[in-house]
Amino acid sequence: MNKLKVVLDKTLITSASLLLILMVIFSVWQVLARYVFNISSPGTEESIRYLLIWFGLLTAAYVFGAKKHIAILFFREKFSPRTQLLIERVTDVLIILLAAILMVFGGIKIVLLTSAQTAAATGISLGVVYAALPVSGVFIIIYTVISMMTKRINENEEVGV
């Protein structure tokens, strides 16, 4: 189980890092194109937006694995450890249901709905963009199952930036 998680983590971090670097390059390119080369770069802004969607949903999935989505644990910690564990499990099931129904099932439906739709500047199919949702949903389900099988206590962050 842990081995699988390591592989998933690596996959997500690597692809998200590449997307991030690509987005930095595109943004800087956009400035250079405007001032230095005096040319237009019609597709960059749109490409960046779609890369960002993939980046956002993949990193969100990774954060589920890392249990770093912020939560308010102050009140839950007033309960007995047994109750806390029960609440934790119920939350896990809720996350799996949500990822399965909304992100995977709903995601596939929205991919089908939008696959014929084309983006204004780049002309790519919107289905490719929306596909980030079911993909990240699958990752979230696997992570949560692994967590249910291996971890006993919640480590979600209480604080953010």
Residue from 11, 2, 6 nearest 136 by CA = 11
Are 43 and 121 spatial neighbours (Cβ–Cβ below 8 Å)? yes
Task: Return the structure tokens found at 26.
Answer: 């595109």
**Most distant pair of Cα atoms in the chain: their distance:** 65
By beta-carbon proximity to other proteins, the closer residue of 5 and 76 is: 76
By beta-carbon proximity to other proteins, the closer residue of 123 and 149 is: 123
Single residue of 118, 150, 153, 155 touching other proteins by CB under 8 A: 118
By beta-carbon proximity to other proteins, the closer residue of 133 and 141 is: 133
| Kind plus residue range of the DSSP H or E element containing 93 | helix 81-98
DSSP state of 5: H
Touching other proteins, residues 83-102 (CB under 8 A)? 87-88, 91, 94-95, 98, 101-102
Strand partners, 118: 125
Q: Does 135 bind other proteins (CB under 8 A)?
A: no
Number of residues that bind other proteins (CB under 8 A): 77
Q: Does 106 bind other proteins (CB under 8 A)?
A: yes
Q: What is the total residue count of the chain?
A: 161
Q: Does 57 bind other proteins (CB under 8 A)?
A: yes
Single residue of 68, 89, 151, 152 touching other proteins by CB under 8 A: 68
Task: Return the structure tokens found at 38.
Answer: 């005096």
Q: Does 36 bind other proteins (CB under 8 A)?
A: no
Q: Which amino acid is at 22?
A: L
Q: Does 123 bind other proteins (CB under 8 A)?
A: yes
Q: Does 45 bind other proteins (CB under 8 A)?
A: yes
Cβ 83 to other proteins, closest distance in Å? 10
